[in-house]
Structure 1
Amino acid sequence: MNARNAAAAGRNPVGALLLGLGALVLTVLTAGWRGAAASYLAAWLALLALPVGALPIAIVLERFGLRRHDHGEGELSKALRRLVALMPVAAILGIPILVGIGRIYPWTDAAPETPLAAVWFTVPLFALRVVAYLAAWVWLAARFVVPAEDRADGRTVSSVALHAVVGTLAVTDLVGSLDHRLGSSLEGLLVLTAWSGLALAAAILLAPEEPAPIGRGRAVPGQDRLVPLVVLLSLWAFLHFVQFLIVWSANLPQEVMWYFARGGWLGRAFAGFGGAVVLLGALATLRPGRPTTRVLAALTVVLHAVEMFWFVTPALRDRFVIRMSDVFAAVAVGCLGLALRPLVRRLVPLASPRRRRSAAA
C-alpha cells in the first residue's frame, strides 16, 4: 500500500477497515491459521514499535530538549508524540495475539524444562503479563502524549525506568520465548533499540522541515535529526555484532542454529542491507543535509520493519523467508490501525482536558 492509498484509507476509516479485514482473510487463506498468526505477530510488532519506540525518545526530549514555555516544542518532538498516541491502537490490535497464543508459541505444546517454566510459561499467566505490558505502555503514553507544564516535573526518570523494565520483559515474552535456542540477555535491549530507531526514523519522515537556523553557531540543516538517528543505528549494529560474536566465539551449537535459521540468501541479504544502512549513516554525518537525513530515515524504517519478520517467522518456519502472508499481514495491520485511530481518539482521550487546553495555548 503506497503513501497515497494510505492517506486515502486514513480519511476513510470504513474503507480502511474493510481493506484490513480483507487482507487478514487473505493472510489466513495463504498461510493457514498458524502461519497467519506468525505473520500477524511480526507485523504487529512493527506497528507496536512506533509508539513504544517513540516513548523513550519523547521522554528524553522532554527532559533535556526544548520545552513549550521556552522557544516552543520542535516539529520532531511533536511527530514523536503523535506516534506515542498510537499506543491504544497497538494495544487493541494485540488482542489477536492473545487469542492465538497456542498457535504461535511452541512452549504451549512442550513439557516445561524447569519448575519456574512450568509456572511462568502458562497461557493464562502469559496473557496476563502481555495485558499488563500493554496497559503500562498505554498509561505512559497518556502521560507523555502532551508536554509537561512544569519544568520541575520529575516524571521522566521513573518513566524511563518503568519503560526499560516493561520493555525488556515484553521482548523476552513476545519475541524471546518464540525460539528457545537463543538465550541472549542482549535480545531485549537489541529489540528496544530497533524499535526506537524505527520510531525516530518514522518521526523524521512525518515531521515538517523547520526553518534553518541563522546566526553564529548555526547547525547544518537536518543535523539535529541525523545525529540521533545515526547513534541509534550504530548502537543497534553494535548490539547485533556483540550478540553474534558471543554466540560464535563460545561455540554454542544450539544458539548457532538460531542464526542458521535466520541465514540463507535472504538472511545474508538482510544483514548486508543493515550494514549498508549503518555505513550510509556514518558517511552522511560527514556531509549532513535534509535530503540525506530523510533518505536514511526511510531506509531505517524498512530495515527495522523487516527485522521484526527476521526475528519472528524463522521460529515457526525454521528459515527466514518473506511470504505473501507476511505482505498481507502488514497491509492488514496497517489498514486496521488507520481504521481504529479516529475511533480510539474519540473513546480513549490520552490527555486530560487541562493539559489539552494548555497544549492548545
Structure 2
Amino acid sequence: MSVDERGAAARKALGAKTASGYFLDPARRPLAAFLAGGACLALALWLHGPARFAPSYLAAWTCLLALPAGALPVAIMIERADAWRPQPETALLETLRGLLALMPVAALLALPIPFLAPRLYPWTQAPAPDTAFAALWFSGAGFAVRLLLYFVLWIGLALLFARRGGEPWGKAGRIDDGRAVLGLGVHTVVGTLAACDLVMAVDGRFHAAAFGLLAMAAWSSLALAAAILIAPPDIGPARRRHDRMTPLAVLLLVSAGLHAVQFLMLGSDPAAASWYGARGGPAGRGLVLASGALVALAAALTLRPGENRTRFVAAFVVAAQLAEMAWFVTPSFVGSFRIRFSDVLALAGVAGLAAGLAPPLRRLLPGLAAPPAWPGREAAARFIERR
C-alpha cells in the first residue's frame, strides 16, 4: 500500500469515529439525506400545521416531478434532432436520461397527496356532482387511481426511452420515429391531465385546457436548465460540442408565449382575472419581470453561446422555475404569491427524501440504473478538477 493510500485509509478510519464523518461517507449519504429530508418535512408540519404544510408539500413535490417529466420530451426531441449523426450521445443528453431515474422517486413521494387532497382541492368539499361519471371522477378513489395510472404510464415511458447503462451506441439503438411520436403523444396527454388534476385543481375558479401545456413547458425548462448545470462539458476526440443555449432559449420562449396567450385569451374572464390577481403583488410581478429578462437574455446569448454564459443563465432559470412551481400553487391558499418558510422547508425535505430514495429505486429498476458510458468522461472529469 502506498503512502497516499495509507493516508486515505487513516483519514477514513478517523472520520468514521465522528458523526460528521459517519454521515459524510459516500455509502451513507443517501441515508443521511433521507433523514435530513424527513426532519425538514416533520419540522414544517410541526411549525405550520397541516393547512399550510399541504400546499407547500405539493409545490415542492411538483419541483421534483418537473425534473423527470420535463426531461422526457426534451431527451426525445434532442436525440431525434441529432439522429442522423453517427456518433455517441452528448453529455447533456446523457444527463437528461439520468433525470428519468427520478420518475419512480416522484411516484413514491406522491403517496401523501391523496391523503392531503381534502386540504388541497375544492372538489373534495363540493356537493356531489349530478352525473355518475363526474361523481366517480371527483372522488378520493378516482383521484388515487388516476394518480397511479399517470405514474404507471410515465415510468413505462422512462424505461422505454432511458438507454441502459454501459451499452454501446450501436447496440442500444436509437429512438425511431414511431416510438418518438408515440412517446411524445402519450406524455402530452398524461402531462396535460396530471397538470390539471394536480396543480390547476387547487383553485376552483380557473379552468383551461392550455394550462397543461403551460405547466409542461415550465417542467421542461426546469429539467433542461438543471441538466445544463449538472452535465460536464463535451470533451474528447469523439465528442462534438453542442450548443446548449439554443434549446434552453427555445423552451423559455415557448413557456413565455404560452403564458402570454393564456393571459390574453382568458384575461377578460372574471374567474381567470382573479386567478392572475392572486398571483400579482410585488413578488409576483418581480418574478414575471425576472423571467422575462431571462428569456430576453437567453435569446440574445444564442448569438454568442458559451459554456460559462449558458451555465450562468441556467442557474437563474432553475431558481425562477422553482419559484414558478410555487407561483402555480401557493397563491390559491394565501391570496398572494410569496415564498414562505414552510415552502423552503418542504423543498429541502422533498430534495432530501429524493436523494435518499433514488439509489435503492435505481437498483429495483435496472433500466434506469445508470446513464450510458460516453467517450471523454475521464477527460471531462480531469478538466473540471483543474478548473
TM-score, structure 1 normalization: 0.88
Give % identity.
45
Tell me how far apart the structure 2 counterparts of residues 331 and 8 of structure 1 sit (CA, whole Å): 18
- 1:287 counterpart residue number: 304
Q: Which runs of 5+ in 1 are unaligned?
A: 1-6
In the alignment, does 2:344 pair up with 1:327? yes
The match for 2:121 among 101, 105, 115 is 105
Is the CA contact (8 Å cut-off) linking 1:47 and 1:333 kept in structure 2? yes
- Please give the residue correspondences for 1:109-188 in structure 2 after superposition, counting only pairs within 5 Å: 109-112=125-128, 115=131, 116-146=133-163, 149-151=172-174, 153=176, 154-188=178-212
Counterpart CA distance in 1 for 2:303 and 2:212 is 31
Partner of 1:209, secondary structure, is coil
Residue 249 (structure 2) pairs with residue 230 (structure 1): yes
- Is 2:264 aligned against 1:241? no
Contact 2:97 2:371 in 1 (8 A): no
The residue that corresponds to 1:193 in the other structure is: 217
Q: Structure 1, residues 212-244: CA drift from partner, whole Å, max 9, x if none?
A: 999xxxx9x66x210010000001111111111
| Correspondence 1:86 to 2:102 | yes
Unaligned ranges ≥5, structure 2: 1-22, 165-170, 376-387
Q: 1:151 to 1:310 in 2, by over 3 A?
A: closer
Q: Residues 98 and 371 of structure 2 are in contact (CA less than 8 Å); yes or no, is this contact kept in structure 1?
A: no
Q: Is residue 59 of structure 2 the alignment partner of residue 42 of structure 1? A: yes
Counterpart amino acid of residue 259 in structure 2: H
Counterpart contact for 2:200–2:211, Cα < 8 Å: yes
Confirm or deny: 8 A CA contact 1:9 1:15 kept in the other structure. Answer: no
Counterparts of residues 302-317 of structure 1 (less than 5 Å): 302-317=319-334
**Aligned-partner Cα distance in 1 for 2:112–2:247:** 34
> How far, CA to CA, are the matches of 1:234 and 1:245 in structure 2?
16
Q: Secondary structure at the match of 1:86?
A: helix
Take 1:270 and 1:351, find their aligned partners in 2: how far apart are those partners? 35
Give the letter aligned to residue 67 of structure 2: L
Q: Partners of 1:243 and 1:357 in 2: how far apart? A: 37
Deviations 1:147-181 (A, max 9, x none): 78345743221111111111111111001111121
* Separation of aligned partners in 2, 1:152 and 1:172: 29
Structure 1 CA distance for aligned equivalents of residues 116 and 366 of structure 2? 29
Aligned-partner Cα distance in 2 for 1:10–1:49 = 26
For 1:322, what is the secondary structure of its paired residue?
coil
* Deviation of 1:211 (Å): 3.6
Report deviation, 1:9.
9.1
Change (3 A) 1:359 1:351: farther
- Matching residue within 277, 284, 291 for 1:267: 284
Q: Number of aligned pairs?
A: 344
Larger Rg: 2
Distance 1:212 1:359, change over 3 A: closer
Alignment of 1:61-80 (within 5 A): 61-66=78-83, 70-80=86-96
| Residue in structure 2 matched with residue 347 of structure 1 by the alignment | 364
Within 2, Cα distance between the matches of 1:327 and 1:358?
34
Q: CA deviation at 1:103?
A: 2.0
What is the Cα-based RMSD across aligned positions, in Å? 2.7
